[in-house]
């Protein structure tokens, strides 16, 4: 049974506003890929838009450009090994979904491969084409058209990190295969 529930698009920016490492999935016809990316962020609220840094020479970028779509899956601590593996292997040489036995759901809006097992959330995005920058920069922009999150860790537009959902706490890549996990939340008190 999936614990994923739709996230209102006005709350989609909250899924990555804390800068987690993400998994980017793409597909173009029978070709598909997944890669890890450490740099992503929201850039607009309405419509929800994000920026993500993906080297322009990667297979993922090639598929994104060809299809005009991509998805962002947000792995939890349980998926650290998978995140490192897909970030260290080229999709030009192997189907990473098959090699690492990654189960996928099909995106409701764009039909993209979405990873839910071990992940806290996902977003389907339409690539915002920037012809004057596509060959010059690694930063890509996307408009979020659908989003969902595991209700055990993200509910009513808010993250809820606690001991009961530690495997779904988002992660941050520090380099060399080392990650930091988001810890329990601390609420600010009025001054």
Instruction: Tell me what the mean pLDDT of segment 34-56 comes to.
Output: 95
pLDDT bin (cut points 50, 70, 90) of residue 144 is very high
- 78-104 burial, b at 16+ Cβ within 10 Å, e below that, comes to bbbebbbbbbebebeeeebbeeeebeb
pLDDT at 48 over 70: yes
pLDDT bin (cut points 50, 70, 90) of residue 133 is low
Contact 119, 2 (CB under 8 A): no
Mean pLDDT for the chain overall: 94
> Span 4-181: which CATH code?
2.30.110.10
| The pLDDT of residue 131 | 75
| The pLDDT of residue 1 | 67
Using H for helix, E for strand and C for coil, what is the string for 41-106?
Answer: EEEECCCCEEEEECCCCCHHHHHHHHHCEEEEEEEEHHHHHHHHHHHCCCCCCCCHHHHCCCCCEE
CA angle 104, 105, 109 (to 5 degrees): 135
CA–CA gap between residue 107 and residue 124 (Å, rounded): 7
| The pLDDT of residue 60 | 95
Helix, strand, or coil here: 13?
helix
Q: Where are the domains of the chain?
A: 4-181
Q: Would the pTM of this model clear 0.85, i.e. be above it?
A: yes
């Amino acid at each position: 049974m999936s614990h994923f529930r739709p996230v209102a698009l006005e709350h989609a920016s909250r899924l990555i506003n804390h800068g987690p490492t993400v998994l980017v999935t793409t597909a173009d016809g029978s070709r598909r890929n997944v890669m890890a990316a450490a740099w992503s962020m929201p850039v607009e609220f309405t419509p929800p838009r994000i920026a993500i840094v993906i080297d322009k020479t990667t297979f993922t970028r090639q598929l994104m450009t060809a299809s005009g779509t991509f998805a962002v899956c947000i792995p939890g601590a349980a998926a650290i090994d998978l995140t490192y593996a897909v970030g260290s292997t080229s999709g030009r040489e192997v189907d990473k979904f098959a090699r690492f036995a990654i189960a996928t759901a099909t995106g409701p809006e764009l039909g993209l491969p979405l990873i839910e097992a071990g992940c806290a959330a996902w977003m389907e995005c339409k690539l915002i084409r920037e012809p004057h920058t596509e060959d010059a920069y690694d930063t890509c922009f996307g408009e979020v058209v659908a989003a969902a999150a595991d209700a055990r860790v993200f509910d009513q537009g808010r993250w809820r990190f606690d001991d009961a959902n530690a495997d779904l706490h988002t992660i941050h890549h520090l380099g060399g295969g080392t990650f930091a996990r988001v810890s329990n939340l601390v609420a600010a008190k009025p001054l």
